[in-house]
């Protein structure tokens, strides 16, 4: 009797989709996740925000030593669940505008939802994501993936701010580069409410700059706990003619090469545009000790 052939998972992507990712540096996959799963994350985020004491945020963003406290709150967030505010929700002294509710004031929740919250953890470790990283990873220098960061990204009606052109490898620097972004549209993202924009092929321009923790002497000189090392500013000198909007209906997954320049528009509409993003890096690449995102060594980033 002949032995049964080994079971093989059929590919998730077509050869054309893999080629498009290698060529463009991004891939838009409509309907990758179910609407019900998007709604579950929206509801879970609402619960987390509902349980949040706004005065705890006020102590971070409106104390006298505001910059320093806010820096620490951010720099310690790599292995925690922390809440970040929208700049337009704050008065010049750093306090919340009285007319803005805490639900409308938030910009982001980060950066370890995928490890610490059961609802986000389940979503973040769907087997299909491991398979996707296996199929697209080689184009982005990614093998043996580690899920290093998660962000629930609000784009609030009217006040949701623009995120300017950047590369994710600036913030999740590895040597060599290996970052891959998985961006899920939890609600329809359009040009009106702040969808993503990207430069097709821009991932071949190299890294523009690196974001890291400042050395003590730098912090003493500049007062800032974080520093950008400029490498090639031309990479992000992008004209409107070069970019394309990545319009994404609810349930769409946008995969972004870590070196792809991308941005998102402001939301001046009445419709929220919430998204969830995961970032993955390769276990085989060097992860510098002065990268902004650090985790407790007892609680390392895991794969899928
Ligand atoms: Fe990004």
Residue 15's Cβ-side half-sphere holds a number of Cα atoms within 13 Å equal to: 0
Least confident of 3-17, 200-214, 237-251, 258-272: 3-17
Distance, in Å, from the CA atom of 174 to the CA atom of 301, rounded to the nearest integer, reads: 14
Share above pLDDT 90 across residues of the chain, in percent, rounded to a whole number: 79
pLDDT digits (tens, 9 = 90+) for 34-56: 999 999 999 999 999 999 887 77
Q: Residues for the chain: how many in total?
A: 304
Coil, strand, or helix at residue 141?
Answer: coil
Nearest to 159 by CA among 275, 265, 268, 61: 268
**How many Å lie between the centroid of ligand 1 and the Cα of residue 259?**
10
Q: What is the pLDDT of residue 288?
A: 98
Coil, strand, or helix at residue 301?
Answer: coil
Whole-prediction pTM: 0.94
Query: Which distant-in-sequence residues (6+ apart) come within 8 Å of 26 by Cβ?
Result: 198, 200, 246, 254, 255, 256, 257, 260, 262
Distance, in Å, from the CA atom of 137 to the CA atom of 143, rounded to the nearest integer, reads: 6
Q: In what order do the strands lie in the sheet with 106-111?
A: 26-29, 253-257, 180-185, 275-282, 145-153, 106-111, 81-85
Q: How far, in Å, are 27, 64, 229, 247, 277 from residue 177 at the CA level?
A: 19, 38, 16, 27, 19
**How many Å lie between the centroid of ligand 1 and the Cα of residue 182?**
10
Nearest to 236 by CA among 168, 180, 166, 173: 166
Least confident of 7-21, 28-42, 87-101, 245-259: 87-101
**How many Å lie between the centroid of ligand 1 and the Cα of residue 1?**
54
**How many Å lie between the centroid of ligand 1 and the Cα of residue 6?**
39
**How many Å lie between the centroid of ligand 1 and the Cα of residue 187?**
18
**How many Å lie between the centroid of ligand 1 and the Cα of residue 207?**
14
């Amino acid at each position: 009797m002949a032995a049964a052939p080994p079971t093989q998972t059929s590919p998730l992507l077509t050869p054309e989709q893999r080629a498009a990712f290698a060529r463009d540096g991004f891939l838009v996959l409509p309907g990758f996740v179910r609407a019900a799963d998007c709604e579950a994350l929206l509801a879970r985020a609402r619960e987390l925000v509902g349980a949040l004491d706004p005065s705890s945020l006020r102590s971070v963003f409106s104390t006298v030593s505001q910059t320093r406290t806010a820096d620490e709150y951010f720099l310690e967030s790599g292995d925690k669940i922390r809440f970040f505010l929208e700049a337009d929700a704050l008065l010049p002294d750093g306090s919340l505008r009285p007319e803005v509710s805490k639900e409308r004031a938030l910009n982001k929740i980060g950066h370890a939802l995928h490890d610490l919250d059961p609802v986000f953890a389940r979503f973040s470790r769907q087997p299909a994501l491991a398979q996707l990283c296996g199929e697209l990873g080689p184009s982005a220098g990614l093998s043996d993936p580690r899920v290093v960061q998660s962000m629930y990204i609000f784009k609030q009606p009217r006040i949701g701010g623009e995120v300017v052109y950047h590369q994710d490898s600036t913030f999740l620097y590895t040597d060599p580069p290996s970052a891959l972004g998985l961006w899920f549209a939890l609600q329809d993202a359009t040009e009106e409410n702040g969808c993503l924009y990207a430069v097709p092929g821009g991932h071949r321009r190299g890294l523009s700059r690196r974001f890291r923790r400042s050395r003590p002497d730098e912090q003493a000189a500049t007062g800032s706990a974080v520093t950008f090392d400029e490498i090639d500013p031309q990479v992000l000198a992008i004209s409107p003619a070069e970019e394309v909007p990545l319009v994404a209906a609810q349930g769409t997954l946008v995969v972004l090469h870590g070196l792809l320049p991308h941005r998102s528009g402001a939301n001046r509409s009445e419709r929220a545009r919430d998204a969830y993003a995961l970032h993955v890096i390769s276990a085989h690449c060097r992860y510098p000790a002065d990268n902004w995102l650090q985790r407790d060594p007892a609680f390392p980033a895991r794969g899928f």
